[in-house]
Structure 1
């Protein structure tokens, strides 16, 4: 079954008004096709995000495939990965951009963006207090959420507003 057929099948299953909310229509001003609308609805629900219907499709598909990958220090494959291994593999696969396998080094490879100007695909960096080194990196998705490889659960999506990540958020950056 092709990805398009999988999305259509999923949409039919989840458009059952007795058990699920109907699919949202893409905003008319976006000029999207029905197929695009199905795509964004599928990833909106499967990733738990409120999407704007203009996010990078390749990024959404790729990160969805990584969810549940176990954490492994120094790893960068779907058999096990750490945070910077995950980010570097996604960036290579989606954008063809080679990033270093170190959250601290990645921080020096990006242009800073303010927290309120973050866009899907920007990197988010964390540290454990003023003057402490950066210890963690993830990829901003949408709606205040990011995806990352956590040492206590592997690749997952979390909110930047959860107490732990809100306290330790340091900066956001955009890769050129």
Structure 2
């Protein structure tokens, strides 16, 4: 058993070393706050103007250098603009299921639409109790406590700046070796869905449904070829392929971490290519982007 835990610790160490590189292209999103802004070919006032952006339009910040920012806009246009001409936008994740997006900041206001747990939104502004957000093509209000807010930033080694997927796996790895317990949702013992629920709650304050079948329906369904760290993978481990009986959290390289009820009866790292899981694999869902 000691060898298994040491091996898992090495996997964890390797993962965080690699993600520091592989996620280097996680960019900030910004909104133009001046009426019209020139996009220049180089970071200089005298440089050629290659395009323009207007107030309210969104851009990706690729680099920041003093008073200039290199941005990407529209159909792949890249250039430089004055950093003071834009403000960095925050994004958020809906952390409970069936959350109402309301027309005005009051519970008596009409419901525009209902958002599921893990829905990605853009935060326009925040007050004491309510946040004004954009969800898909709709704009409205949601209670602050139902929203986990992040700023899209380049990844660093500081935990506060870690990508959401890194935070999920950090919490998950911290529970390696915890015992399996049917119905368990804490460090004293987890079942498979209790482990997934605990990890998302403690990493991102996202409250997932309690049971594995419901967790498999949260978020956005993704193919195995599209799997990313932090995705929920789900299985039918009864030998059939008709119902969800087991869930775990995808790491990378066809490996996932989960609370196993098998011989080891603890939180372990396993391979999707192991016969038991390969035969029972049903799919995956993405809670975060």
TM-score under structure 1 length normalisation: 0.69
1:129 aligns to what?
240
2:217 aligns to what?
108
How many angstroms does 1:57 deviate by? 3.2
How many angstroms does 1:143 deviate by? 1.0
Alpha-carbon distance in structure 2 between the residues aligned to 1:49 and 1:157: 14
How many angstroms does 1:95 deviate by? 1.5
Where in structure 2 are the equivalents of 1:15-30 lying within 5 Å? none
2:189 aligns to what?
80
**1:145 matches 2:241:** no
Alpha-carbon distance in structure 2 between the residues aligned to 1:78 and 1:95: 17
1:171 aligns to what?
283
**Is the 1:74–1:81 contact (alpha carbons within 8 Å) kept by the matching residues of 2?**
yes
1:15 aligns to what?
none
1:118 aligns to what?
227
Deviations 1:53-72 (A, max 9, x none): 33743223211210001000
Deviations 1:109-128 (A, max 9, x none): 12110101010000000013
More helix by share: 1
Asked which structure has the greater CA Rg, the reply is 2
**Is the 1:69–1:80 contact (alpha carbons within 8 Å) kept by the matching residues of 2?**
yes
Alpha-carbon distance in structure 2 between the residues aligned to 1:119 and 1:44: 20
Instruction: From the superposition, tell whether residues 48 and 168 of structure 1 become closer, same or farther in structure 2 (CA, over 3 Å).
Output: farther
**Is the 1:160–1:166 contact (alpha carbons within 8 Å) kept by the matching residues of 2?**
yes
1:158 aligns to what?
270
TM-score under structure 2 length normalisation: 0.43
**Is the 2:217–2:285 contact (alpha carbons within 8 Å) kept by the matching residues of 1?**
no
Q: Cα RMSD between the aligned structures?
A: 2.0
Higher relative contact order, structure no. (Cα contacts within 8 Å, ≥ 6 residues apart): 1
How many angstroms does 1:49 deviate by? 5.4
Query: What SS class does the counterpart of residue 148 from structure 1 fall into?
Result: strand
How many residues end up aligned between the 2 structures? Answer: 133
**Is the 2:223–2:284 contact (alpha carbons within 8 Å) kept by the matching residues of 1?**
yes
How many angstroms does 1:96 deviate by? 1.2
Structure 1 stretch displaced more, 56-65 or 120-129: 56-65
How many angstroms does 1:45 deviate by? 2.1
Alpha-carbon distance in structure 2 between the residues aligned to 1:112 and 1:159: 20
**Is the 1:104–1:135 contact (alpha carbons within 8 Å) kept by the matching residues of 2?**
yes
1:26 aligns to what?
none
Query: What SS class does the counterpart of residue 216 from structure 2 fall into?
Result: helix
Question: Which blocks of at least 5 consecutive residues in structure 2 are unaligned?
Answer: 1-7, 24-162
